[in-house]
Amino acid sequence: MNLRFARDGANESECVVRYFEDHPVRAQNLLEALPSGAALLDDHGVIGDLNQRLADMTGYPLEELVGRDIQVLLPPRERTTHFITRSELGDDSSGTQVVRDRDLTIRRRDGSELPAGCAFSRLTIDDNSWIIVEIRDKTAQRAVQNAHIMTEGHAIDSESSIAAALAQSEQRFRLAFEGNMAPMVFSDQDGLFLAVNGAFCRMSGRSEEELVGHDSQHFTYPEDIGISEDVYRRIKSGEIDEDCYGKRFLHKNGRIVVAEVSICAARDQAGRALYFISSVRDITDERALADQLSYQALHDPLTGLANRALFDDRLVQARSRAAREGKLGAVLLLDLDDFKGVNDAYGHLVGDQLLVTIANRFEQVTRSSDTLCRFGGDEFLYLAEGLTTHAEAELIAERLLGTLVEPFSFDRVKLEQRASIGIVIWDSESPDNVELVQNADAAMYEAKRQGHGHIVMFTANIGQEAVSRFALVQELRHAAASGELLMHYQPIIDLTTTAVVGFEALMRWNHPERGWVPPDVFIPLAEQSDLILELSSFALTSAMTAASSWEASDPRSGRPYVTVNLSARQFHDPGLVSLIEQELERSGLEPERLILEVTESVALVDIAETINVMEELNRLKIGIALDDFGTGYSSLSYLAALNPRIIKIDQSFVRPKHDKERSDTLLEAIVTLGNKLNMTVLAEGIETSSQLDRLHNLDCELGQGFLWSPAVPAEEAARMLGRSLDD
């Protein structure tokens, strides 16, 4: 076989024919290799064979066209006696004579028409002479030509002008469409693709043959079917001229492609839409990044829970639904009890692990209609919707607390964690979101005041107390700066000689309007803010200054010492030791005369850190008193590790309210234990002579209480040193 389209500017079909040069092949091999519709004709124009592409283009089955005149594919108005004349091709069978770029109209089997272009060449296959015809669908090209001609604003009359315009149109089409890196599509009025460029094929994962002649429904994400169709309808109706919309496609490999489609219509002079031009932008990565940033903006990075911004948005929506449905909702504020101790004792890594695990447990009991939020630090917010009674909110709170019953374990660390919960019920008439959270916080504070693991429902009284507490905190800040805070001193007595051997420094607040504010009111307020460090430093400085001026009441017993209570935050404050060193130098107080009091719970928050602090204090010759002994952990192993200078027996053992016999037994055991460990035992809250006698008989060394004196100002304390306090 000798096939050759020997001419300049050979198109793709000609290149395919050249590929078969000097290769013995069957006719069907050649036809199927051609990218366009193609057929072999005899000299009378009868179809001897054709490829599947031509069958698909015309809508005829292959077998229905073989043996029929090629002009069956033309509308009657274009049929002639001869489809191609001998003068056009002559008798040359070398394939060097080609008739190309002839325009015609193809009449499809269903009667519809499409513009086409064709090229002819004579060739010989197996000693038989044939005419090979290539037919190309020129719908998209014709549309571009029409659009170009219409937009020129004038009629093109001469044949040369038309040819020039078409050449320019084709060049522009190839640059703006085929060579465009952006996916582009030409579609007809029904949304069927007339032409697609390579970029669109790559974006969809489909070939041109798989796309042209079809609409986008078969590879549109199911939930997005109808979006494009609605846009086509609105443009055709004249409702809009153009549109930009988003939709999702399904890549051939199953991947979801998020796209932004910009579409406009080419219209005739009457304004009718001729065809549509769409530019498609793949925004999958862009949308994924936007979703990620949006998620990060609305979720807590540690736990993955909703953050405050998302919670507020959900609360607004929930209140709108409640207004329509007439139901109640609730905001629950959960605060982990003593969580700071976990960070101090085991580090923030364990603390973060605990928060994540707690969040996971809370999520397991969170209703699908509700929202769980990390409010910050060790606090969580819970939004409950669709409630009908207050009891339902309490039941939700109990379920949340129930998730904390089982201990937590992390790398050999076993922890038990509790939480306190404040609840506020709301309806469509309730205050704004900020006030709702504030009310939940007030209820949570009351739950904390009642002890660990409590649930409290907000009431008007609680709200008023919260306002009073807030005002009191502000006044406390002013008091610290204006001199309203004072240090009073309660004498510590040697129970054998009744001599004053020291004083416990206790803070007092003389409010100009409220009068004396009890310490059990303002100290907890200070502990919940940064004020506690300021107050603790004030207490330490004032006590050391006062003690430096005290003289000995008995030369044999030496000058009295002073004990100062330290909060948990100050005891574990890294600057504690340096502060004490500075104050010792400033006041001139002998370090042996300073005793720092800490409770068992404070000392055992982080036993390793506590021992390090105590070693530093021992280096300075400063003693430690373990306060409220018997009410906390009371572990012998801890007691041996801490080795305090003084054990202070809680007053509940000195003057028990219940089961006196049992308390007396415990009192005797504590005193005996302290003496055996060579620790000084000090009993608090002594009010009667019988209590004094009982302690003296048990060999308790020191005591303090109203039997001798309450805490008094520094001047009065100094005067006690020169007289006997023995009744």
- Which alpha helices (H) appear in 22-158, and where do they start and end? 27-33, 52-58, 62-65, 86-89, 139-151
- Give the lowest-confidence range in 101-105, 359-363, 534-538, 704-708: 101-105
Q: Is residue 480 part of a domain?
A: no
Over residues 76-100, the mean pLDDT reads 63
What pLDDT does 637 receive?
Answer: 62
Q: Could you tell me the CATH number of the domain that includes residue 601?
A: 3.20.20.450
Confidence at residue 325, expressed as pLDDT on a 0 to 100 scale = 86
651 & 707 share domain: yes
> Does residue 30 sit in the same domain as residue 100?
yes
Q: Say if residue 145's pLDDT is above 50.
A: yes
pLDDT of res. 225: 93
602-653 per-position pLDDT tens digit: 766 667 777 888 888 888 999 989 887 766 555 566 677 778 899 898 888 8
> Highest-confidence range of 14-28, 528-542, 577-591, 656-670, by mean pLDDT?
577-591
The pLDDT of residue 16: 42
Check pLDDT > 50 for residue 353.
Answer: yes
Determine the pLDDT at residue 638: 67
Residue 470 pLDDT: 75
Among 94, 111, 137, the domain boundary falls at: 137
Q: Minimum mean pLDDT among 188-192, 312-316, 381-385, 603-607: which range?
A: 603-607
Say whether both 625 and 502 belong to one domain: yes
Q: Are residues 105 and 63 part of one domain?
A: yes
| In-domain check, residue 727 | no
On the question of pLDDT at 170 being above 60, the answer is no
Q: What is the pLDDT of residue 153?
A: 45
Summarize pLDDT for 484-528 with one digit per residue, the tens.
Answer: 899 999 999 999 888 899 999 999 998 888 888 888 888 888 877
Instruction: Let me know if residue 655 belongs to a domain.
Output: yes
pLDDT at 591 over 50: yes
Residue 299 falls within a domain, yes or no? no
**Pairwise pLDDT comparison (571 vs 203), residue with the higher score:** 203
pLDDT-derived band at 18 (thresholds 50, 70, 90) equals very low
At residue 88, does pLDDT exceed 60? yes
Band (pLDDT 50/70/90 cuts) for residue 19 is: very low
So what's the pLDDT on residue 338? 82
Which residues pair with residue 479 across a beta bridge? none
Q: Tell me which of 89-98, 330-339, 356-365, 443-452 is least confident.
A: 89-98
Same domain as 579, residue 668 = yes
Check whether residue 572 and residue 594 sit in a common domain: yes
- Predicted confidence (pLDDT) at residue 9 exceeds the cutoff of 50: no
**Residue 25 confidence (pLDDT):** 44
Query: Same domain for 541 and 655?
Result: yes
Give the Å distances, CA to CA, from 69 to 26, 74, 81, 101, 338.
22, 10, 11, 21, 95
Please give the Cα distance from 614 to 594 (Å, whole number): 13
Task: State the average pLDDT over residues 136-143.
Answer: 72
Query: Is the pLDDT at 277 greater than 70, yes or no?
Result: yes
CATH of the domain at 424: 3.30.70.270
> Could you tell me the CATH number of the domain that includes residue 18?
3.30.450.20
* 148/274 same-domain check: yes
Does a structural domain hold residue 467? no
Quote the pLDDT of residue 553: 64
The answer on pLDDT for 445 being more than 70 is: yes
- Is the pLDDT assigned to residue 219 strictly greater than 90? yes
Residue with tokens 């014709």: 142
Same domain assignment for residues 680 and 552: yes
Last residue of a domain, one of 237, 269, 287: 287
What average pLDDT does range 443-467 have in this prediction? 83
DSSP 552: P
Reduced to 3 states (helix: H, G, I; strand: E, B; else coil), residue 245 is strand
Co-location of 576 and 699 in the same domain: yes
In a domain, 530, yes or no: yes
Q: Is the pLDDT confidence value at 313 over 50?
A: yes
Pair (661, 577) in one structural domain: yes
What residues are paired with 563 via a beta bridge?
A: 504, 595
Same domain, 113 and 161: no
pLDDT score of 168: 59
Distance from C-alpha of 627 to C-alpha of 701, rounded to nearest angstrom:
16
Asked if residue 476 is part of any domain, the answer here is no
Instruction: Write the pLDDT tens digit of every residue in 99-132.
Output: 556 788 899 999 888 888 888 888 777 677 888 8
The total of structural domains in the chain comes to 4
Of 8-12, 167-171, 435-439, the poorest mean pLDDT is in 8-12
- SS3 letters for 387-401? ECCHHHHHHHHHHHH
Of 396, 362, 381, 376, nearest to 311 by C-alpha is: 381
For residue 263, the enclosing domain spans: 142-287
Q: In which band, very low, low, confident or very high, does the pLDDT at 21 lie, cut at 50, 70 and 90?
A: very low
For the question of whether the overall pTM of this predicted structure is more than 0.85, the answer is no
67 within a domain of the structure (yes/no):
yes
Backbone angles phi, psi at 506, to 5 degrees: -130, 135
CA 431 to chain centre: 27
Predicted confidence (pLDDT) per residue in 220-233, tens digit: 999 999 999 999 99
End position of a domain, from candidates 243, 267, 287: 287
Rounded Cα distance between 194 and 184, Å, is 11
Q: How far is CA 634 from CA 340, 345, 598, in A?
A: 21, 18, 14
**The pLDDT of residue 724:** 64
